[in-house]
Amino acid sequence: MANGQWSCAVLLCFLTLTLEVRDGFGMVKPASRACIIGAGYSGLGTARFMKEHGVNFTVFEATRYLGGTWRFDPHVGTDEDGLPMFTSMYKNLRINTPRLTMEYTGFPFPEETQSYPTGECFYKYLKLFAKQFDLVQHIQFRSLVTSIKWADDHWDVTYMKTDTKMNHTEQCDFVAVASGEFSSPVWPKFDGQETFKGKMIHSHDYKDPEDYRNRRVLIVGAGPSGLDLAIHLSNVTAKLVHSHHLRYNQPFFSDTYVKKPDIKMFTSNGVIFQDGSFEEVDDVIFCTGYDFTHPFLDKSVGITASGKFVLPLYQHTVNIRHPTLAFVGVSKKILNKVLEAQGEYVAALAAGKFELPSQEAMLKAWLTHVRALKAKGMRLVDVNTIDNDADNYFANITEEAGIYRRPPVLSDIRVFNARYRLEDLLNYRDFDYQIVDDHNYKRWYNPRKGNPCPIDI
């Protein structure tokens, strides 16, 4: 992205902010009523800490279920209530980061659980968590939030009940937006794409390897989904063509696996790659990632949101313009503990347990963050990225808000896992991890047949 776009975006939000500065803006009074949008991992984690602080809160959840993306749902396109599908879960998924980096504080999986349990097991864990902390009674299901507006001294949160289709508006003193970041699929465009006669889907809609048995399939992309689906499909399909440009230690997938460079164009029955080669395929799965989507944010919220970024946020969560609204879970390249820590930070803020700096100081801190990114050669789309700063971030928000300090060993495990995954893609999940102390962990080979889940709920 050109520098011009940087300065333009920075200037824009600086202007809108400075126009709005009022006295006492950085202070957040204890909320007499807080609202959380979404009952996934992030929303549930926030709810637990709000409950611990005695905040009066409601979670608005669009679907009939908690657990967000961790709940497998066979519907494609829209669900039984006509909602767009928020979950991207598929059969046989196993988590790709050790559970230690994902567990809620003080609520570990049963000790015998393998370090990389199935997605289904993680969903059970979330249900157990909600039960244990008595959160379900605070969740108002089938409530799709369609608008959040700033109304001078409170938020007007409008939602549609999916059973009655009626709209309701409620007042909230504090809003935590935890609506997820992996439900709006990114579709690339290639020449000839509309002439292709086979089936094209995004990994968001992928459910089951059986749909691809004995078919000739093209997978596009080698992010977490692309690599995972290559594992799931290579011994099921008649041929698996994998187009990507990741450099990694490619394992032996199967005799019919073919690696290809990026796509040049589609034809009616196949695809031509950048090297000029051609492959005939029946189905295409685009594993090309997700955009942010926050269709319910009114202009009055004061947030600039696009598919690629949400800004300006203090500490990756707080809406600088109106700090009684915060995001939990719009950070990229994180371990899930970051989302949990954000939930604790935001709950402490809603409860009035600590004081934010002035609005001007928050904006300065954000601009410093932006300049630091730029100095590292990063772009505006990286503004929500935490990545290797996770441990500094943990230290920082602990210092500011007095919340639990997530130990450095967690970030070390994440970094090791991310690297080792690309070295030994087919076997990296066969290891177990254990934390020894704040700086050290143990790791040993311990494959489990059938991936048993000791949680029964």
Ligand X SMILES: *[C@@H]1O[C@H](CO)[C@@H](O)[C@H](O)[C@H]1NC(C)=O
User: What's the min distance (Å) between Cβ of 77 and ligand FAD?
Assistant: 15
* 3-state SS class at 338: helix
One of 42, 58, 115, 324 touching ligand FAD (CB under 6 A): 42
Is the previous residue joined to 312 through a cis bond, with omega within 30 degrees of 0? yes
Rule CB under 6 A: is residue 178 a binding residue for ligand FAD? yes
Rule CB under 6 A: is residue 160 a binding residue for ligand X? yes
Q: Which is nearer to ligand FAD, 38 or 209 (CB)?
A: 38
Rule CB under 6 A: is residue 92 a binding residue for ligand X? no
One of 63, 87, 97, 234 touching ligand X (CB under 6 A): 234
User: What's the min distance (Å) between Cβ of 376 and ligand X?
Assistant: 15
Select the residue whose beta carbon is closest to ligand X and give its number. 365
Candidates 20-28, 63-71, 127-135, 258-266; binding stretch for ligand FAD (CB under 6 A): 63-71
Rule CB under 6 A: is residue 88 a binding residue for ligand FAD? yes
Rule CB under 6 A: is residue 56 a binding residue for ligand X? yes
Rule CB under 6 A: is residue 175 a binding residue for ligand FAD? no
For helices 336-350 and 41-52, the axis angle rounded to 10 degrees is: 40
User: Which residues between 394 and 453 bind ligand FAD (CB under 6 A)?
Assistant: none
Q: Which two tokens stand for residue 1?
A: 């992205």
Q: How far is CA 278 from CA 165, 229, 269, 442, in A?
A: 49, 22, 10, 47
Rule CB under 6 A: is residue 97 a binding residue for ligand FAD? yes
Give residue for tokens 């492959």. 279
Q: Which of the choices ligand FAD, ligand X, none does residue 336 contact, using the CB cut-off of 5 to 8 A by kind?
A: ligand FAD
Candidates 55-63, 186-194, 248-256, 318-326; binding stretch for ligand FAD (CB under 6 A): 55-63
User: Which residues between 165 and 224 bind ligand X (CB under 6 A)?
Assistant: 165-167
User: Which residues between 179 and 198 bind ligand FAD (CB under 6 A)?
Assistant: 179-180, 182-183
Rule CB under 6 A: is residue 86 a binding residue for ligand FAD? yes
One of 31, 35, 36, 37 touching ligand FAD (CB under 6 A): 37
Q: Output Rg (C-alpha) for the chain, integer angstroms.
A: 23
Judged by CB under 6 A, the number of residues near ligand X is 18
What is the C-alpha separation between 33 and 58, in angstroms, rounded? 8
User: Which residues between 407 and 446 bind ligand X (CB under 6 A)?
Assistant: 426
One of 46, 58, 69, 114 touching ligand FAD (CB under 6 A): 69
Rule CB under 6 A: is residue 162 a binding residue for ligand FAD? no
One of 34, 46, 55, 68 touching ligand FAD (CB under 6 A): 68
One of 396, 434, 440, 446 touching ligand X (CB under 6 A): 396
Residue type (1 letter), 454: P
User: Among residues 136, 158, 170, which one has the least CA distance to residue 39?
Assistant: 136
Residues at the interface with ligand FAD (CB under 6 A): 37-43, 60-63, 68-70, 86, 88-89, 95-97, 102, 144-145, 178-180, 182-183, 296, 329, 336, 339
